[in-house]
Structure 1
Amino acid sequence: MRTGYTLNGRYRIIRALGEGGMANVYLAHDLILDRDVSVKLLRLDLRDDPSTVRRFQREALAATELLHPNIVQVYDVGEENGMQYLVMEYVQGTDLKAYIKDHFPIAYQEVIEIMEQILSAVKLAHEHNIIHRDLKPQNILIDPQRVAKITDFGIAVTLSEHSLTQTNTVLGSVHYLSPEQARGGMATKQSDIYSLGIILYEMLTGTVPFEGETAVSIALKHFQSEIPSVRAVDANIPQALENVVFKATAKRPQDRYPDVAAMATDLKTALSPSRAGEERFDPAGDDDGETKVLPLSALSSLTAADHAAEADATPAATAPQPAATAKTATGDAADAATAKGRYRKRHPRRFRFIWAAVILFFLLVGILIGVALFQPQMTSVPNVVDRKQASAQTTLTAAHLKVGEIHRTSSAKVKLHRIIRTEPRSGTQLKRNTEVDLWISTGPQRYKLNDYKGDAYASTAAKLQALGFKVHRESVHSTSVPAGRIMQQSVSAGQKVIPKDTAITFTVSTGSQTVTLSDLTDKTKTQAQNYAAGHNLNLAFRYAYSNDVDKGKVIRQSPGEGAVVQEGDEITLTLSRGPESKGPATDQFNVRVRIPFDSSSSSTSDADASDSSTVASSATENLIQIYLKDQDHQLSSIYKQMTITSDATVTLPFTVASGKAGAYKIVRNGTVIAEDKHVTKD
């Protein structure tokens, strides 16, 4: 389908995403809902095939029944000009096969998290009596947030469909095929569980358990050979986690998990220290007692052999018996003569059998010699893991093998420039001169750190620890950052580091600290301001005449002595003007001033430079200093100091002689942002 074509007047094709055996997939844009979607379109050469159309429609039916965050959602199904199509959720990212290749080795906890998502999706399908039958990494998509989504229910079968209508054709990928499917039996829910076990094996080892020259040879291994140990590849894998692989891939379906929910429950605790001493899982037996499906050629051979045996038996049963010899006086001689006659009569037949056996023997010997002469010479893949590339190439050449593709990937266990693994794996029998691919270590995978300021410490620390980081915490009080949130990190955002070699320290807010107020009465304004600065409190001043308290000292405070307040709270102090005296009339009025918040500036004064909480929160606070000039204040001293985290409005009280003017100045983080030198009542 060409780029720009609009399907059904709604889905505009952008580009091709991939081609499959049954359908092609395109990226398209939904013009109505304004979103990108995936469009699966049945191939042109298959539109006249009724069975393929039924399979395609079955996928639509199966997928529309399943609404789950880990299943690719189907939005629309339709047909246009004979074209069958599905419109599905577009998942950015890659499939699990490529994800394993790019990220191997994957942390065990991440493996479990991805598998739990897959198991949750398959559980829903099984609850709807839908068997996927083709579970494999290529059918599992991973988005940038590491959310797994299962797709391609094209060969899914509901249990309600009559089993006799199904053929023994194997539709799933042979590397993930259950033994019962390999024998030609029907797929069950336990067949999906087997495939899930193979997927878990591949995520832990980076490869599938069985390889072979042909699909038939791989299928034979699935029901004849034991699943290899994942701990033989990585000895650090806990036995409990390996047991999940063994139980899911047991040869007999009844030895596997009864359902995917049981597998998910077992997998969830596989890394628990309480299961550290778990013994290796050993199923009850290997033979499930099912009738094995034999190839047609073998069945024909058996039939031919039965006919040959019957043909040999018939003459012996119907041959005429020799006539009885009359008894005479010379009975013994007669008997001897009779026996000799019988021997002479049967002697040629015995020789015919002997000659046939000899001929058959030499014929078999000739066949064996011919097979030995003409069969390809085989060799075994040597173990070159942990060697340098040049050494590995020399060893492979000595084993009559060629070096195939060179892949480079990170590894936390294998040193830089050394071999991580080969494909096929060591010990595999191959024809001479077959290519063997090499995976070479680029060293430990480096992780790019994010900016974690403002994030929750608990979840951030858990995520980084799972990746191998050493995480430390330092706690400080803050009036602007909520408790439990990160204020500062010791390793800058954007740096690429090796997790297991990196320790990162987070400065974490414990929230604001409580303050029990002291008695501030009879203190000077300067003393009160020093007390407030030392306890992260804001002050507001009022003035009153007093015959008992000296001018400039605190008459009263609100809240009073002993009150418990939070850091950042405002305390109101009433200062004495001294005794009231007759003088010129005064005007008293208030002026409201709006103070805008500046998110790009910092608020670290010299006095607070040593306060870690002030430094850490500088990007989220503004330091505001207000200066007043009236009867009670001079512009040379601070009237009020406060911190703001957003736009604020303050009310400034003025007392001036009638006909006179006051003034104010507002400083934000050391810069004057508002000033009025002529403030009057009007």
Structure 2
Amino acid sequence: MRTGYTLNGRYRILRALGEGGMANVYLAHDLILDRDVSVKLLRLDLRDDPNTIRRFQREALAATELLHPNIVQVYDVGEENGMQYLVMEYVKGMDLKAYIKTHFPIAHADVIQIMEQILSAVQTAHAHGIIHRDLKPQNILIDDQQVAKITDFGIAVTLSEHSLTQTNTVLGSVHYLSPEQARGGMATKQSDIYSLGIILYEMLTGTVPFEGETAVSIALKHFQADIPSVRAVDSTIPQALENVIYQATAKRPEDRYADVAAMASDLQTTLSPDRAGEARFTPQSDDGGETKVLPVSALSSLTANNSASAADSAASAATAASDPPTSDVAGKVRYKKRHPLRYRLIWVAVTLFFLLVGILIGVALFRPQMTSVPNVIDRQTASAQTTLKAAHLKLGKIHQTTSAKIKRHHIVRTEPRSGTQLKQNTKVDLWVSTGPQKYKLANYQGDAYASTAAKLQALGFRVNRESVHSTSVPAGRIMQQSVSAGKRVVPKNVTLTFTVSTGSQTVTLSDLTAKTKAQAQDYAVSHNLNLAFSYAYSNDVAKGKVIRQSPGEGAVVQEGDEITLTLSRGPEEQASETDQFNVKVKIPFDSSVTSSSSSDDDDDDDDSDESSSSSVSSASENLIQIYLKDQDHQDSSIYKQLTITDDTTVTLPFTLTSGKPGAYKIVRNGSVIAEDKHVTKN
């Protein structure tokens, strides 16, 4: 993709960062959020390959489920002109492979600090049921602050998915491949732990433990050869730290750490003086397990060895056939020749008969009774238990897991998988669906709409926008949300609607001179303006009409600005003796306002704390209306209307005929909060 191209009208390509077997990665700039991002673009020659597209989409799905400071975050997923792309967090730095090469030897404390970040990220992935399957230094990025971030979930697989592992082929980098994967077995959490142990080995020694001329020769070493000692390379490495590598890379998965959290806990104390005299970790012997099919590329390198073994066996057989019989054997042959052929045949037949009967009886007595695990996916627990019992299997542990496809209280998967051959009365564990994973909504009022919408869309929400003008909320900020904060919802079932401020509009003032007070107030309301009035005697302008305005006709003002109008009192000779004075009144701001909200949650699991039909939210502004009664005003019409965002003091001008009192009333959001019906100069 050329430099300067704008993807989806938003991401401007700056330069290429790297090329891979599946996709190319570019540095781009997000024009909306004004930040640098990484764009992973599926190669053009692979865009029609369904397997590659499935891997690409798997990476997007896996990464968007994982929100962790040590996992590269996916911001956006899309397609343009047939091109699949991911928009990810841009990490300025290098991968761990280059970091090891540049900084080796690395201090043991720094090694542990980096590994703890990696372990924390993998623990989060495992907690979401995602196995990475390709953990290696090239897929771990280190930024300038020595923060590690895992990327490339292209061949990651969820624990409920097994289509890739059923092909008996090996995916992932062979230098970090677990023995069970090298045999073509199914990847588990312990497979990731094995890869983490190899990464720790490389960080301490600068090299991988096994090298070879072919990928198959390296894979064979993973399940045949012992991991070399890191203390043989660097004697300053504590035995406790070497033991972490030994336990993580044990040949048998059951000898490894039970989970990543256990490995992280062990790693934390490896430099402690309390573990200075620790003995070397020794796992149980590996029995090799069932040998499975290696990839086709591996078979070619094994053919020569198999041919040589076959040749040796054939040569031994030929040598044995050419040797003459001993004297004892010859004697027996000569003895047998004395018996008639008929007796010899009978003796052989009887011997073979009893031998065959003995073999059949032995097989019948000692062969374990086998059965096949039935398919109970999407059944309820009671039904699954009945089916297992009918298949002569026992119910094991029942686990709970979220699922977007399987209904609540129905079986998501079994362990072992359906179709697996087991001894009768073996226990089978069940994973029961708790329904789709829910997300707890935050209070987004005041947040930027663009970044909030992008984050929620990546989680699966449908997001709508309603734009309104506001004099108090900056443009682009969220004013209201359709679903209240704290609500736990299923993202794919919910449409969120945000009311977003477009800021205040400009108004070009009309000529208000000669207008009545009521006409001027109507104009101010329709254009969202505030009015202030002053009064003067005039022989030319009738009483109650506008003499002049400030700003004048044609001036451009913002919505919410105040316009001052001078109203006529009529001719001066008509005036009687009056008192003119001002009264200051403080108007308190009310930050709480009650609004009703309805639930958009389609899930049938209602919590008691979510059933309320109303909620109290924070008000951003108050509507204030002031009524004034004096010589120039009547309390039946609004003297002044304004919006406030904080406690505000207003000055009320009174013009009273001597000896007569005035009055005022202040209304906030429809409720009277201050009133004085007897206002005098003193």
Q: TM-score, length-normalised on structure 1?
A: 0.51
Matched residue, 2:638: 638
The alpha-carbon distance between structure 1 residues 559 and 387, as it changes in their structure 2 partners (threshold 3 A), is same
Partner Cα distance (2:138, 2:637) in 1: 82
Deviation per CA, 1:51-80: give whole Å up to 9, x if none. Answer: xxxxxxxxxxxxxxxxxxxxxxxxxxxxxx
Give the one of 221, 227, 249 matched to 2:180.
Answer: 221
3-state secondary structure, aligned to 2:216: coil
Partner Cα distance (2:215, 2:445) in 1: 56
Matched residue, 1:110: 64
Partner Cα distance (2:545, 2:663) in 1: 23
Partner Cα distance (1:285, 1:487) in 2: 59
Compute the displacement of 1:574 (Å): 1.0
The letter of the residue matching 2:71 is Q
* Alignment of structure 1 residues 398-413 onto 2, 5 Å: 398-413=390-405
Deviation per CA, 1:232-290: give whole Å up to 9, x if none. Answer: xxxxxxxxxxxxxx999999x99xxx99xxxxxxxxxxxxxxxxxxxxxxx98433288
Matched residue, 1:305: none
Compute the displacement of 1:384 (Å): 3.0
The share of aligned pairs that are identical, in percent, is 59
Alignment partner of 1:486 is 2:478: yes
Give the one of 400, 412, 416 matched to 1:424.
Answer: 416
Partner Cα distance (2:676, 2:427) in 1: 85
3-state secondary structure, aligned to 2:158: helix
Matched residue, 1:286: 216
* Alignment of structure 1 residues 203-602 onto 2, 5 Å: 204-205=158-159, 220-225=179-184, 285-288=215-218, 292-293=224-225, 347-348=326-327, 376=368, 378-493=370-485, 496-581=488-573, 584-601=576-593
The letter of the residue matching 1:286 is V
Q: Is the 8 A contact 1:515 1:535 kept in 2?
A: yes
Q: Is the 8 A contact 2:442 2:486 kept in 1?
A: yes
Partner Cα distance (2:126, 2:372) in 1: 37
Matched residue, 2:354: none
Matched residue, 2:663: 663
Compute the displacement of 1:523 (Å): 0.5
Partner Cα distance (1:542, 1:602) in 2: 37
3-state secondary structure, aligned to 1:463: helix
Partner Cα distance (2:513, 2:67) in 1: 62
The alpha-carbon distance between structure 1 residues 287 and 507, as it changes in their structure 2 partners (threshold 3 A), is same
Matched residue, 2:271: none
The alpha-carbon distance between structure 1 residues 561 and 635, as it changes in their structure 2 partners (threshold 3 A), is same
Partner Cα distance (2:285, 2:493) in 1: 60
Between structure 1 and structure 2, the one with the greater Rg is 1
Partner Cα distance (1:134, 1:657) in 2: 83
Give the one of 137, 140, 163 matched to 2:120.
Answer: 140
Q: Is the 8 A contact 1:176 1:199 kept in 2?
A: yes
Compute the displacement of 1:573 (Å): 0.7
Q: Is the 8 A contact 2:441 2:488 kept in 1?
A: yes
Deviation per CA, 1:526-557: give whole Å up to 9, x if none. Answer: 00001111111110001112222211111111
The alpha-carbon distance between structure 1 residues 132 and 384, as it changes in their structure 2 partners (threshold 3 A), is farther
The alpha-carbon distance between structure 1 residues 517 and 203, as it changes in their structure 2 partners (threshold 3 A), is farther
Q: Is the 8 A contact 1:624 1:668 kept in 2?
A: yes
Q: TM-score, length-normalised on structure 2?
A: 0.51
Partner Cα distance (1:133, 1:652) in 2: 67
Matched residue, 1:620: 620
The alpha-carbon distance between structure 1 residues 618 and 461, as it changes in their structure 2 partners (threshold 3 A), is same
Partner Cα distance (1:571, 1:204) in 2: 65
Compute the displacement of 1:485 (Å): 2.8
Deviation per CA, 1:164-217: give whole Å up to 9, x if none. Answer: xxxxxxxxxxx99999xxxxxxxx957999x97999977733589999xxxxxx
- 543-552 vs 594-603, greater mean Cα deviation: 594-603
- 418-427 vs 514-523, greater mean Cα deviation: 418-427
The letter of the residue matching 2:225 is V
Q: Is the 8 A contact 1:210 1:221 kept in 2?
A: no
Q: Is the 8 A contact 1:602 1:621 kept in 2?
A: no
Matched residue, 1:271: none
* Alignment of structure 1 residues 94-109 onto 2, 5 Å: 108-109=62-63
3-state secondary structure, aligned to 2:474: coil
The letter of the residue matching 1:225 is G
Partner Cα distance (1:222, 1:450) in 2: 42
Matched residue, 2:672: 672
Partner Cα distance (1:657, 1:285) in 2: 105
Matched residue, 1:66: none
Deviation per CA, 1:298-354: give whole Å up to 9, x if none. Answer: 9xxxxxxxxxx9xxxxxxxxxxxxxxxxxxxxxxxxxxxxxxxxx99x9449989x9
The letter of the residue matching 1:108 is A
Compute the displacement of 1:560 (Å): 1.4
Partner Cα distance (1:196, 1:649) in 2: 56
The alpha-carbon distance between structure 1 residues 550 and 534, as it changes in their structure 2 partners (threshold 3 A), is same
Q: Is the 8 A contact 1:178 1:222 kept in 2?
A: no
Deviation per CA, 1:460-498: give whole Å up to 9, x if none. Answer: 333332332222222121223332233333445555544
3-state secondary structure, aligned to 2:533: strand
Q: Is the 8 A contact 1:402 1:434 kept in 2?
A: yes
The letter of the residue matching 1:652 is L
3-state secondary structure, aligned to 2:463: strand
Q: Is the 8 A contact 1:383 1:427 kept in 2?
A: yes
The alpha-carbon distance between structure 1 residues 433 and 139, as it changes in their structure 2 partners (threshold 3 A), is farther
Partner Cα distance (1:493, 1:467) in 2: 16
Task: Count how many residue pairs are aligned between Structure 1 and Structure 2.
Answer: 429
Matched residue, 1:610: none
3-state secondary structure, aligned to 1:531: helix
- 125-134 vs 106-115, greater mean Cα deviation: 125-134
Q: Is the 8 A contact 1:136 1:176 kept in 2?
A: no
The letter of the residue matching 2:546 is V
Q: Is the 8 A contact 1:135 1:196 kept in 2?
A: no
Alignment partner of 1:649 is 2:646: no
The letter of the residue matching 1:501 is N
3-state secondary structure, aligned to 1:666: strand
3-state secondary structure, aligned to 2:218: coil
Q: Is the 8 A contact 1:114 1:147 kept in 2?
A: no
Aligned Cα root-mean-square deviation (Å):
5.6
3-state secondary structure, aligned to 1:397: helix
Structure 2 unpaired stretches of 5+ = 1-58, 74-90, 142-148, 167-176, 204-212, 227-283, 288-311, 313-322, 334-357, 596-615
3-state secondary structure, aligned to 1:481: coil
Partner Cα distance (2:486, 2:286) in 1: 64
Q: Is the 8 A contact 2:96 2:138 kept in 1?
A: no
Partner Cα distance (1:297, 1:588) in 2: 103
Partner Cα distance (1:133, 1:375) in 2: 52
Partner Cα distance (2:668, 2:151) in 1: 63
The alpha-carbon distance between structure 1 residues 177 and 670, as it changes in their structure 2 partners (threshold 3 A), is closer
Q: Is the 8 A contact 2:550 2:563 kept in 1?
A: yes
The alpha-carbon distance between structure 1 residues 417 and 660, as it changes in their structure 2 partners (threshold 3 A), is closer
Structure 1 unpaired stretches of 5+ = 1-104, 150-174, 180-187, 212-217, 231-245, 260-282, 299-308, 310-342, 355-365, 604-615
- 221-230 vs 563-572, greater mean Cα deviation: 221-230
